[in-house]
Homo-oligomer: A and B are copies of this chain.
Amino acid sequence: MEDDSKGAVGLDLIPQLSLDCVIFGFHDGLLKILLLRWKETEEWSLPGGIVLQRESVDDAANRVLMERTGLTEIFLKQFHTFGDLHRYDKKELQDKLGHVISTEHWYDRAVSIGYFALVDYAMVFPNPDKYTDECKWVDLKEVPKLLFDHNAILEKAIQSLRRELSFQPLGYNLLPEKFTMPELMRLYEAVLDKKIDPRNFQKKILKSGIVIRLEEVKRGLAHKSPFLYRFDKERYEEVLEDGGLFFV
């Protein structure tokens, strides 16, 4: 372990603390995850980085995501802090990434704060940084072995995302302002990775009052013209305060 706080890159950083971002992308029924491929390697990881002394950890998360992927104005939510003793092997990292970035001065151990976000991947266009050859949206079912403990971090992020579903209406900023019930349901199905009974789903969502049915239908579909809905923001806030969707 280093005993100064300047760290490997000469920055005034908080020693042994890092953060990692799990960016979920949803579009058209598909759930993907944003991964980086390190320069001139086949090694993949989540976008991550360090925390500076002069910034809050939330600000650090936004800065790191921006620096590593170019993404801005993403609502990042902290979900878990990873503090096991052996999250990575420095020697192994040196072998794999030594030609991209010197890992010699990395700490033997770091505690990493995990953040996640859910965005529409058709609207978001990431750009790789100097350590990275590629930022890629990868299907959740095709995620390779990642560096560090990032597969475990991703797994925990998926669990957290699913928990959020039962607590609050996801899709608030993810679906179009007006959406159909099947569109909302496909989002829930993608996140839960299971089929949902449409009638039961519609009944529960309507009973919760978090969506309002509009006097409009969606046109241009092959068979029928389904009603459009929008979120009821006030009711949504109420539900959050009252203990989530179970008690509506």
- Residue among A83, A113, A162 with the highest chain B CB neighbour number at 10 A: A83
A59 CB to closest chain B CB (Å) equals: 9
Report B-chain residues with C-beta under 8 Å of the C-beta of A111. Answer: 14, 17, 51, 57, 113
Question: A199 in the interface, Cβ–Cβ < 8 Å?
Answer: no
* Contact pattern, A 125-139, Cβ under 8 Å of B = 1, otherwise 0: 000000000000000
- Complex: chain B residue closest to A16, CB-CB: B14
Are the C-beta atoms of B84 and A247 separated by less than 8 Å?
Answer: no
Interface-lining segment among A37-45, A143-151, A163-171:
A163-171
Are the C-beta atoms of B243 and A165 separated by less than 8 Å?
Answer: yes
Question: A194 in the interface, Cβ–Cβ < 8 Å?
Answer: yes
Expressed in whole angstroms, the Cα–Cα distance for A97 and B73 within the complex equals 42
Question: A85 in the interface, Cβ–Cβ < 8 Å?
Answer: yes
Report B-chain residues with C-beta under 8 Å of the C-beta of A244. Answer: 162-163, 165-167, 246
- Residue among A53, A80, A163, A191 with the highest chain B CB neighbour number at 10 A: A163
Q: How many residues of A sit at the interface, in one of the four size bands?
A: 35 or more
Question: A95 in the interface, Cβ–Cβ < 8 Å?
Answer: no
Chain A residues near B (Cβ < 8 Å): 1, 3-5, 14-17, 51, 53-58, 60, 78, 80-81, 83-85, 109, 111, 113, 162-163, 165-167, 188, 191-192, 194, 196, 204, 242-247
Given A5-B15, A54-B85, output 11 extra A-B contacts at Cβ < 8 Å.
Answer: A14-B16, A14-B109, A14-B111, A17-B17, A57-B81, A57-B111, A78-B80, A162-B243, A166-B246, A191-B243, A204-B246
Can you spell out 30 A-B residue pairs with CB atoms less than 8 angstroms apart? A3-B3, A5-B15, A14-B15, A14-B16, A14-B109, A17-B111, A51-B83, A55-B85, A57-B83, A57-B111, A58-B83, A58-B84, A78-B81, A81-B81, A111-B113, A162-B243, A162-B244, A163-B167, A163-B243, A163-B244, A165-B244, A166-B166, A166-B243, A167-B167, A192-B242, A192-B247, A194-B243, A196-B247, A244-B246, A246-B246
